[in-house]
Amino acid sequence: MCGIFGFCNFCVEHTTEKLVKSLIQGLQRLEYRGYDSAGFCLDDKKDSDKTGVIVKKTGNVQALYNSAVEENTGKFEMKKALNDGVGIAHTRWATHGPPSDTNSHPHVSGPEQDFIVVHNGIMTNYQEMRTFLKEKGFAFQTETDTEVIAVLFGFLYKQKTSFAQVMMEVMQFISGAFAVVV
């Protein structure tokens, strides 16, 4: 079963390393649920033009942490001092698409990464929504229902004025039993 975890820090000094470790510790507390891959996104809010940094890995949470520290050094500085930061994390038990780094969460709404999503549960109408979005010109990088949710957020956001409106409409479009962190 999937697990989701979020961390938000506002006006409290810490480092990127502390944010990453908080996300990893949150995922470690979810390991008992079983999973095949894990991932996280962090945004340090220092650069409004920068999108969130995403790290995804097939395997256990320790492999994800090792990947974050060893392979993604150029994406973020672990010792960087922060006053604000937000992160979302996920352990995945594959239901749509095989276990892979690509199918691991988080998923993005498109190249601009306007929305980054983790999801626990099953979206029962994801094939219909995927077809609808493909007809609107959207492309998909994964086989997951979660990417459909992320792309739907991006599609609807271009038509709405507020995040709250988009959230309510996304929830009306999708069916199933789930929890979503955006």
2 in active site: yes
CB 123 within 8 A of CB 178: yes
CB 150 within 8 A of CB 138: no
Cα(82)–Cα(14) distance, integer angstroms: 5
Q: In which region does residue 97 sit, left (phi positive, over 0), alpha (psi from -120 to 50) or beta (all else)?
A: left
| Number of residues assigned to the chain | 182
Given the residues 2, 8, 11, 41, select the one marked as catalytic: 2
Question: Which residues pair with residue 4 across a beta bridge?
Answer: 90
CB 148 within 8 A of CB 123: yes
Annotated catalytic residues are 2
